Chain A
């Protein structure tokens, strides 16, 4: 059964080829069958592989399948080789399982769209690239998948390309992640120069053998890889693209910008964790990036009014928790949170999609209100998603977040200050989540809504809701792939605080946005808190800052250089040649007697030279 591993990326890729060849002319039912079916079959194959995988003893859980050699250049021989271990399998579950549910939902959500087949062409290619990314046994192949998902992200953000604004958002996402990818590529070059191999397992064992702890080279490479991860996972300082990526269709936001692609950075760091373990500084940096990002985007989410942008900022914040977990060495907790986050965030996004569709593409939460009665199923599933995001027991988010917070408390790269930041983040998460929940579903109904019912809408929501509720009880086969953190013993007070603060946050949100206590509201609508809120609303003015700091100077430079200043130097050669050409062609005047005269003169000169120098 493990021999079928190649089918997991192969089936979605086949689906992509069929849909691509169909050029959008296939009937919609066939398109649905191919587009959803290919991912469904891939999920089925994953499940069959997992059954066999769980059957073998956990210590020996690796399987390698070499399909062919990709290219050969000296000692660089990256192959199309797949490598399956517990980490890759956990990711496969998320990608194909959650991916299949989102595809199923999308077949209903996107049905009316005239570019329905194009949508599934892109998403199937995305799933194939993402699976390639997690199954790659060498970093070159991983980079191929990495760029593949980036391409699909770009194509799908700009899916409704007739609005130029969407194109701008797509370009922004592409260019900002490209900055991280450049760092990643440089890291790969450096790794190859130092170790002579890009095979992940070989490189990791070579790294521990070659470099001592805290060696400069290991730190540099780890930081460069972190740069790639930060770009892809929308962490500080490259987080600005993700909120704008919400311009894409909502299933895309669920699939790419919540559940799978944006967590690729977390996967990359977990996959190369040996490198990071070698360097305390790099680990510290990862933890700091995580905690700063989760706080910043948490505060931003507090003030947003667009339903999808709130979810986008909460995604950045939750990935911040995963980075924090990686930074404190709680590798398996990071992957565990990745999985539970995929469940509840995909659920929240799909439910948000249902809500937005029901209220005629209105995304402003203050223009919804009181949708509880009109949309009973989304109400229930959204509540489950919110509980998961807030990490209230016993939902899945509770288990993963608790693991992370406990690990932060007791880790050398964590500490009490970072722990306090993370718990404050959890508190804010509770407030903004339930702010969104109360404003959307309670209060006065601002707009009429009619629910989109049917199998394709409800089944994915309900399945994801069940997963978000009980996903915390899953046991991921990570012990062989990642070092086991062990159970961190923390003081009881610490644990109680971490569990209690989100509940206080929910209570505060209840008072503010359900009971709408006037005194409290007034506090936030006047004075310094209001301008602070405006600052948060702009995403801490990061877009403004980057615009002034990078975009404007670059555009000015480009305008100034529009005549290609560097080209002026080589142009001297071509101008000189042209000048000589004009001079010499003057001598070709067609006058026979003139030619004779010049010949005679030239002979005279030659002879004179010969006589006087000879």
Chain B
């Protein structure tokens, strides 16, 4: 049971984690690192859910976290497949190669 007074700290931690993940996605060109950064963002969101659920004594927070984990697993499965295709095509994992869909 997290103390309600402490919840701000957890949220700040979750926000920091989320921003780190976002910055990672934005600045890294290696697709593997981008995926890892996205996992960090997902888990930051998950942390916020857990903390909030715990603070207000609601189970919904944990339910949402389970959903986030499932979603993350599915996303990684697809993303890794795409990564493999990207590598086969360009012999590199740099996402900046993927800009043929210009308008």
Which A residues fall within an 8 A CB radius of B?
A: 584-593, 596-597, 600
Contacts and interface: CB of A to CB of B under 8 A. Distances in A.
A592 B29 CA distance: 10
Given A596-B25, A596-B26, A590 B99 contact: yes
Given A590-B98, A591-B96, A592-B98, A597 B103 contact: no
A594 to B, nearest CB: 9
Contacts of B27: 593
A597 B34 CA distance: 13
Contacts of A590: 98-103
Given A597-B26, A600-B22, A592 B103 contact: no
Given A593-B25, A593-B29, A584 B99 contact: no
Contacts of A600: 22, 26
Given A590-B99, A590-B103, 14 more contacts: A585-B103, A586-B103, A587-B103, A588-B101, A588-B103, A589-B102, A590-B98, A590-B100, A591-B99, A592-B99, A593-B26, A593-B27, A596-B26, A597-B26
User: Is chain A's interface secondary structure helix, strand, loop, or mixed overall?
Assistant: helix
23 contacts: A584-B103, A585-B103, A586-B103, A587-B103, A588-B103, A589-B103, A590-B98, A590-B99, A590-B100, A590-B102, A590-B103, A591-B96, A591-B99, A592-B96, A592-B99, A593-B25, A593-B26, A593-B27, A593-B95, A593-B96, A596-B25, A596-B26, A600-B22
A597 B102 CA distance: 17
B27 to A, nearest CB: 8
A597 B24 CA distance: 11
Contacts of B102: 588-590
A595 to B, nearest CB: 10
Contacts of A586: 103
B30 to A, nearest CB: 11
Interface residues of B, number: 13
Nearest to A586: B103
A591 B98 CA distance: 7
Nearest to A592: B95
A526 B40 CA distance: 113
A590 to B, nearest CB: 3
B16 to A, nearest CB: 16
A589 B96 CA distance: 11
Most buried by B among A588, A590, A592, A596: A592
B63 to A, nearest CB: 23
Contacts of B99: 589-592
A596 B25 CA distance: 8
A527 B100 CA distance: 90
A585 B99 CA distance: 14
A97 B22 CA distance: 98
Contacts of B29: 593
Interface in B26-46: 26-27, 29
Contacts of B101: 588, 590
Contacts of A587: 103
A13 to B, nearest CB: 61
A178 B13 CA distance: 86
Interface string B26-70: 110100000000000000000000000000000000000000000
**What are the nearest 5 A-B pairs in CB distance?**
A588-B103, A590-B99, A585-B103, A590-B102, A590-B101
A586 B102 CA distance: 8
Contacts of B26: 593, 596-597, 600
A458 B25 CA distance: 104
Nearest to B22: A600
B96 to A, nearest CB: 7
Most buried by A among B22, B25, B99, B103: B103
A591 B103 CA distance: 11
A581 to B, nearest CB: 9
